[in-house]
Amino acid sequence: MNSIDFAQYNNIVIKVGSALVAPDGHSCSTQFCLPLANFIKKCQQSAKKVTLVSSGAVAAGFNTLKPDHEHLSLDEKQALAAIGQSKVINHWQRFFDESVAQVLLTAADIQSSHRSANAKRTLITLQQYGVLPIINENDTVAVDELKFGDNDRLAAQVATLIEADLLLICSDVDGLFNDNPHTNSNAQLIPFIDEMTDDIMQLGQASHNPQATGGMLTKLLAAQIAHDSGTDTIICNGKTEAYSRLFQQQNPGTLIRSHKRLQTNSSPSIRITNP
């Protein structure tokens, strides 16, 4: 049985990748974002708190300026991110009647106890206002995730910060497979993981999709951060709107369950399967 008790999640961080926000040369596209915005509204109508972590600034800036070369220097990526970020936030705002809020953070902000406490208070106050926080890395001052493509990790750190119960990573892959689905057509999707073992991390490397910004490994590393702090993670395909299955209590991809939640949530409604 591949079911999920979605009703148990009340505080959700949703991470959306560049491939969904600025696909196929568009600076920003409604194709994948509009259905996701409708899903977010449905979550909010079900009294779930939602925080969105949206990539796409560099891609939107690139697709706006259309530089004549693809291998960008770090400075160029930062400048393109500055151009694209306003497009990304305006793009998301169009889907919501209520205001959305732009929050730009760095890993250093989260590591500093003082700054992370400020960020946490801001995010919680935005939730109390019923305003959707839309977070991205502050690419002007932070370069690590531009080097590693790692907004997944930022999303996991945010989930930890605001004590989210679910991190939903919307990617362009269906989840984690037991082999590379690009080279092995018999590769099977792993629906449930409850231990972030070395073997699982190895699978992340094996199933790396060269077209994905961060690849599966960064998603698993993010899931590991969430797992250790009591947040479940779901990796699913945002292009196929797999997340919408959650309202039918169906698992849309790979669910990585946190031990801490397993210990505190005694509901046996989810079957855990070791791959």
**Rule CB under 6 A: which residues touch ligand GLU?**
17-18, 55-59, 81, 136-137, 139, 145, 149-151, 213-214
Shortest Cβ 138–ligand GLU spacing (Å): 9
- Tell me whether residue 106 or residue 160 sits nearer to ligand GLU (CB atom): 106
Q: How far is the CB of 93 from ligand GLU (least distance, A)?
A: 16
Radius of gyration of the chain (CA): 18
Residue 21 Cβ, how far from ligand GLU at the closest point, in Å? 8
State the nearest-atom distance from the C-beta of 18 to ligand GLU, in Å. 5
Instruction: Tell me whether residue 145 or residue 165 sits nearer to ligand GLU (CB atom).
Output: 145
The candidate with the shortest Cα–Cα distance to 102, out of 126, 130, 79, is 126
Q: Tell me how far apart the alpha carbons of residues 231 and 224 are, in angstroms, rounded to a whole number.
A: 9
- Smallest distance, ligand GLU to C-beta of residue 88, A: 7
Measured CA to CA in angstroms, residue 23 lies from 28, 181, 274 at distances of: 7, 21, 35
Looking at the Cβ atoms of 33 and 58, the one nearer to ligand GLU is 58
CB-wise, 4 or 103, nearer to ligand GLU?
Answer: 103
Nearest Cα neighbor of 52 from 84, 18, 14, 94 is 14
Comparison of 149 and 230: residue with beta carbon closer to ligand GLU: 149
20: exposed, middle or buried (Cβ count in 10 Å: 0-12, 13-18, 19+): buried
Pair 72, 62: CB distance under 8 Å? yes
